[in-house]
Structure 1
Amino acid sequence: MTTRSASDAPPGGPSLDAEALYLALVDGVRALRRSDTQLAGIASGGAWLAERLQRDLGLAGDAGILSSSMHRDDFAQRGLAASTQTRLPFDVNGADILLLDDVLYTGRTVRAVLNELYDYGRPARVRLAVLVDRGGRELPVQADFAAARVTLPPSQALALAQGEAGGFVFELREAEPC
Structure 2
Amino acid sequence: MSARPVLHSDDIARALRRIAHEILEARRGDGRLVFLGIPTRGTALAERLGRIVDEIEPGVAEIGSLDVTMHRDDLGRSATRAPAPTRIPAAGIDGSTVVLVDDVLYSGRTVRAALDALADHGRPRAVRLAVLVDRGHRELPIRADFVGKNLPSSTSERVFVRLSEVDGVDEVAISQ
Q: Give TM-score scaled by structure 2 length.
A: 0.80
Contact 1:39 1:97 in 2 (8 A): yes
Aligned to 1:105: 106
**1:63 to 2:63 alignment:** yes
**1:126 to 2:127 alignment:** yes
TM-superposed deviation, 1:21: 3.2
Percentage identity across paired residues of the two chains: 39
Aligned to 1:31: 22
Aligned to 2:50: 54
Structure 2 counterparts to residues 99-178 of structure 1, below 5 A = 99-163=100-164, 166-173=168-175
Extract unaligned runs of 5+ from structure 2: none
Q: Choose 78-87 or 127-136, whichever is displaced more.
A: 78-87
**1:15 to 2:6 alignment:** yes
TM-superposed deviation, 1:88: 0.9
Contact 1:29 1:129 in 2 (8 A): no
Contact 2:20 2:53 in 1 (8 A): no
Matching residue's letter, 2:77: Q
- Matched residue pairs, number? 164
Change (3 A) 1:119 1:24: same
Q: CA separation in 2, counterparts of 1:139 and 1:18?
A: 31
Q: Give TM-score scaled by structure 1 length.
A: 0.79
Q: CA separation in 1, counterparts of 2:121 and 2:106?
A: 25
Contact 1:107 1:141 in 2 (8 A): yes
TM-superposed deviation, 1:159: 2.8
The Cα offsets for residues 29-81 of structure 1, whole Å up to 9 and x where unpaired, read as 22223352111111111111011222233354751111120110111234752
SS in 2 for 1:56: helix
Change (3 A) 1:95 1:163: closer
Contact 1:66 1:117 in 2 (8 A): yes
Q: CA separation in 2, counterparts of 1:159 and 1:83?
A: 21
Change (3 A) 1:45 1:68: same
Matching residue's letter, 2:143: Q
Matching residue's letter, 2:86: T
Aligned to 2:82: 82
Contact 2:109 2:139 in 1 (8 A): yes
Q: CA separation in 1, counterparts of 2:147 and 2:137?
A: 15
Extract unaligned runs of 5+ from structure 1: 1-10
Contact 2:160 2:174 in 1 (8 A): yes
Deviating above 6 A after TM superposition, structure 1's stretches of 4 or more consecutive aligned residues are: none
TM-superposed deviation, 1:125: 0.1
